[in-house]
């Protein structure tokens, strides 16, 4: 699905604000939810006139519907993940409430990033449903459902069956599946470590507030040393209060890591689809081989394997030549049809592998670039934080020196 006119223009996409609302759900029960304002604006001009900004409100569930649609229609693509619906890997001062203002703000940023990921993808950006998601507020859900994507979605049971029963899996996809599992494990451990460090760091910084209180109390009983102690206490108070902003900034980097934690599942989805296609191919090949064997046995009058038909023949006598010819004719038609289906599935499988691997290579470049940037920025932030700590104690030292 494409919309040629819209995506030829450069546009800006933003999720500019979030709003808490109350309404009725599908069960006609009252619920509280968060709606997000999506704004799109052309940065180019058409016939000398600037295109006006489009804006509409969407719920998180509508973002989920969009992604589910993309997963079905573009199974060979590593579809960008959504930000978490409920907070994970939180440290003790961070609220796990999905209505918490700070969490809603981080999710707003994550939803904007999700849309920007799609808009920058060479294939997904041209999808008509995505375009309508940004521009059509009313009846958008009905438009998505009319595509019938739910009927095309593979069942989890079928995918699980293919995983265990496929006989000739592609090693590249098997390795990729193992890599995605390991990537998810590594990032999960990293986020847990970061949460523990944040907990302890928060305590260390806040304890410095005790220095401020003690120095202030001490300054009240000293004449010559009072001003120096009071100033040193002030620096300690500033240091203690700075941790709130520091850890708030850290959450931004944690969210960048979480995106790739969820990308691991997107990689596995591509691998599962390939397993399903390979399993269907093997079943089709097996069915074709069985029909060819049946046709050969009927033509030669020999039975190589045990079959119900063979037992029936022994019990009730041989078929007439006319009956055998009719059965051979039916089997030949089924064999011809089966060969065409097998050829089609082979072509479909090769096309899937080609397209999937191209997108996986694109994803790998994006991942390496993003994670490198995030880790460097996190290291720079830690260095800056340490420098601020050194500066606080340098200032305190100067205060003590003036006493």
pLDDT in tens, 54-106: 889 999 999 999 999 999 999 999 999 999 887 776 655 666 567 788 888 88
Residue 112 above 80 pLDDT?
yes
Residue 254 Cα to chain centre, angstroms: 15
Q: pLDDT per residue over 297-348, tens digit each? A: 888 776 655 555 555 555 445 667 788 888 888 888 999 999 999 999 999 9
Residue 357 has pLDDT above 60, yes or no: yes
Q: How high is the mean pLDDT of the chain? A: 85
Maximum C-alpha span of the chain: 123
Asked if the model's pLDDT at residue 155 lies above 70, the reply is no
CATH topology for 154-301+322-402 is: Substrate Binding Domain Of Dnak; Chain:A; Domain 2 (1.20.1270)
395 band by pLDDT with thresholds 50, 70 and 90: very high
Is residue 118 a contact partner of residue 125, using CB atoms and an 8 Å limit? yes
| pLDDT confidence of residue 299 | 80
Nearest of 139, 71, 102, 129 to residue 254 by alpha carbon: 102
Percent of the chain with pLDDT over 90: 54
Q: For the chain, which residues make up each domain, given as ranges?
A: 154-301+322-402
Cα(71)–Cα(147) distance, rounded to whole angstroms?
13
pLDDT attached to residue 245? 87
CA 212, CA 197: separation in Å to the nearest integer?
A: 23
The reported pLDDT for the residue numbered 316 is: 46
- When pLDDT is cut at 50, 70 and 90, the band that residue 249 belongs to is confident
Q: Is the pLDDT of residue 164 over 70?
A: no
Residue 157 and residue 51 in contact, taking contact as beta carbons nearer than 8 Å: no
Most confident of 53-62, 137-146, 171-180: 171-180
In whole angstroms, give the CA distance from residue 306 to residue 289: 16
Residue 46 has pLDDT above 90, yes or no: no
- Alpha helices (H) along 149-242: 149-152, 156-165, 171-219, 226-241
Q: What is the pLDDT of residue 319?
A: 66
Q: What is the pLDDT of residues 233-245, one digit of tens each?
A: 999 999 999 988 8
Region for 59 from its dihedrals, namely left if φ exceeds 0, alpha if ψ lies in -120 to 50, beta otherwise: beta
Nearest by Cα to 276 from 198, 160, 189, 381:
160
Tens-digit pLDDT profile for residues 259-294: 999 999 999 999 999 998 998 888 999 999 998 888
Contact 111, 82 (CB under 8 A): yes
């Amino acid at each position: 699905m494409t919309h040629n006119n819209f995506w030829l223009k450069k546009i800006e996409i933003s999720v500019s604000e979030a709003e808490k609302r109350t309404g009725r759900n599908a069960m006609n029960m009252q619920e509280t939810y968060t709606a997000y304002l999506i704004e799109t604006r052309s940065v180019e001009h058409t016939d000398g006139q600037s295109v006006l900004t489009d804006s509409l409100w969407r719920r998180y569930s509508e973002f989920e519907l969009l992604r589910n649609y993309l997963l079905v229609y573009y199974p060979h693509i590593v579809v960008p993940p959504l930000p978490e619906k409920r907070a994970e890997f939180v440290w003790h001062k961070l609220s796990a409430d999905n209505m918490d203002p700070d969490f809603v703000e981080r999710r707003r940023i994550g939803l904007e990033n999700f849309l920007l990921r799609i808009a920058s993808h060479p294939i997904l950006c041209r999808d008509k449903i995505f375009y309508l998601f940004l521009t059509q507020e009313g009846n958008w859900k009905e438009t998505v459902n009319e595509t019938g994507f739910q009927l095309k979605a593979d069942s989890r049971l079928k995918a699980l069956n293919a995983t265990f029963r496929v006989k000739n899996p592609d090693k590249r996809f098997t390795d990729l599946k193992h890599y995605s599992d390991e990537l998810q494990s590594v990032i999960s451990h990293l986020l847990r470590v970061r949460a523990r460090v944040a907990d302890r760091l928060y305590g260390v910084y806040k304890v410095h507030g005790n220095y401020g209180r003690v120095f202030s109390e001490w300054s009240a009983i000293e004449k010559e040393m009072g001003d120096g102690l009071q100033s040193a206490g002030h620096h300690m108070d500033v240091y203690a209060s700075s941790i709130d902003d520091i850890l708030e900034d850290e959450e931004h980097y944690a969210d960048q890591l979480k995106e790739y934690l969820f990308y691991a599942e997107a990689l596995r989805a591509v691998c599962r689809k390939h397993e399903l296609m390979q399993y269907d191919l093997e079943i089709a090949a097996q069915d074709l081989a069985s029909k060819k064997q049946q046709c050969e046995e009927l033509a030669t009058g020999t039975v190589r394997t045990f079959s119900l038909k063979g037992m029936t023949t022994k019990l009730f006598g041989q078929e007439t030549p006319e009956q055998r010819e009719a059965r051979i004719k039916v089997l030949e038609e089924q064999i011809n049809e089966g060969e065409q289906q097998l050829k089609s599935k082979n072509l479909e499988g090769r096309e899937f592998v080609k397209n999937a691997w191209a997108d996986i290579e694109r994803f790998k470049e994006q991942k390496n670039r993003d994670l490198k940037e995030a880790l460097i920025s996190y290291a720079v932030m830690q260095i800056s934080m340490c420098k601020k700590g050194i500066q606080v104690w340098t200032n305190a030292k100067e205060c003590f020196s003036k006493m």
